[in-house]
Structure 1
Amino acid sequence: MIKETLYSTDSYLREEFKVEGFRFGNTGEDADPAACIIGSMRGNEFQQLFICSLLVKRLKELETSGAIVGDHEILVIPSLNNSSMNVGMRYWVSDNSDINREFPGNPQGEPTSRLAANIFEKVKGYRYGIQFPSFYRKGDFIPHVRMQPTGKESASLANLFGLPYVITSKSRSFDVKTLNYNWQINGTDAFSVYSGDTGHINELTAKQAVSAVLRFLTRMGILKYNCHNGYIASIIEEEDMAEVKTKASGFFRRLVNVGEEVHKEQLLGEILDPYEGDIISEVHSNVDGIVFYAKKDPMILENASAFQIIKKLHE
């Protein structure tokens, strides 16, 4: 393993800002850039950083045992934004910008754009790109692989992670500024692996994410590693999931968890009056299916999405 500084810059009123990477396998000029793995880009992505720490530890052991095949090189970058993590901010400290809305970046631009440009130069040549992002909704969700809609995505490759679901969705305006999108249009097969947690550490789902990555690298001939086969993934269009919304605002009492099978009209949650404690509204399922996402904040607004449900095939 080689640890190196991939990017550094002066930081206002703080020590030098550094992005560090860990290279495994063949790190010479004749290396085959096989896989790049990136962890946290935001200051609240503790689970994503923890996953990468487990992955670095495991890859060190596998490298020592000769399990990295041929001239393959694996690069792990645990964090692109440790400064925000240190001060408890989600986005970039100086201007509150989001690094994952800055790719491919501008070397002469604002701080996050310069960071994105420099990092992208170092990672765009890899055959496979794996990112551990945070989910765009606050709450619990089933671990899954998500692909950006570029026209070059491969659901068959995403299946090889062995997670329960592969999620696809329609293109959104900001997708073109994300790492995953720019990886794909530059020839890298890119995947976003969601472990089910963000702001706190869940060792069980973190280990599941590490196993999924090692399983994928093994199936692509990069590692020699004996692993469980995992799941045969179901490919789901996000737009085909059922949204369950609230009819009132107040304290939110959730009665089901992600992964549970539910039926149409089943009671999923209750909304309580925050002053008097009475149940003022009930949240019922509108389909038969499996709970993919469930909100877990103590309070919820009216007409907010409380659950996403994967519909059963007959729906």
Structure 2
Amino acid sequence: MDNIILDVTARRAARVHRVRSRAFGDRAYTVVVALLLGTAVLAILYPLYFIVIASLSEPDAVNDGQVWVLPHGVTLDGYRRLFADPRVWQGVTNSLLYTTLATGVSLVLILSAGYALSRKDLPWRNVITGLFLVTFFFDGGIIPRYLVVKELGMLNSVWAMVLPNAIAVWNLLIARTYFASSVPDEVREAAQVDGASELRIFLQVVLPLAKPLIAVLVLIHMVWNWNAYFDALVYLTDESKYPLQLVLRNILIQSEASGAGSLSSDLASYSEQQRVGELVKYAMIVVSTLPLLIVSPFAQRYLSRGEVTGAVKG
């Protein structure tokens, strides 16, 4: 009897030891993962935060390494100089126009084409998909694209910033795959039984189930079109039509070439011109990225939501 009691006690002690060891291992794993993720987040966010506080600090303090967590010698000279230039406001207006129009056109084309290619009853859908893939791997180059845009009469126009890159093949494939795998055929068939047309099914049934896809495409195209400047550099000659990124690029080049640029040319002292030039550089980065930082959180809630889940039961 005593041997049995000792055996049971030993088993219980061993079980408790295993549970405690497992709990300690889980806690250690959680701590290590949290430290790694925290380090990664800090490495990503701190450079952006540093740019913000550097744009508000005296350049001498930044160069001397005095700016780490909080601004030192707070000043808004960089922002005042930057926003006093009418080219910046014109660039913001142009970028908003190009980004909104290009994103809208791309969404219409990609969503409609992706849904059509996802339909199994579309004739020659594999052949059409293959033709799109050819353009993904082979590109005519800058000169042929420029000649096409020129022959179409789109040079120095809004459409030169919208149409040449309206359809990204990779995003089209993402849309095709999403519609094929995440929108059940039963949903479309039920709408057809109710007498809905194909257009009504697409607008009122398919698109509401594709909100995560739409959010991803909007975010991708907004970031791409807002940051784009090379097409403007190639297709636009009128400075009043330059997007913000190209305007800031030109201001930065002028600043590097003259040591000051037009934003601080009224200053007599070269050291003061250099000071304002440094502040303007940091302010440019903040101004060019701030709109995307504002918009991105509103799209994040759709990125991981599968709203089609549960649409068909039974």
TM-score range, shorter chain: under 0.3
Higher strand share: 1
Select the structure with the greater relative contact order (CA < 8 A; seq sep ≥ 6).
Answer: 2
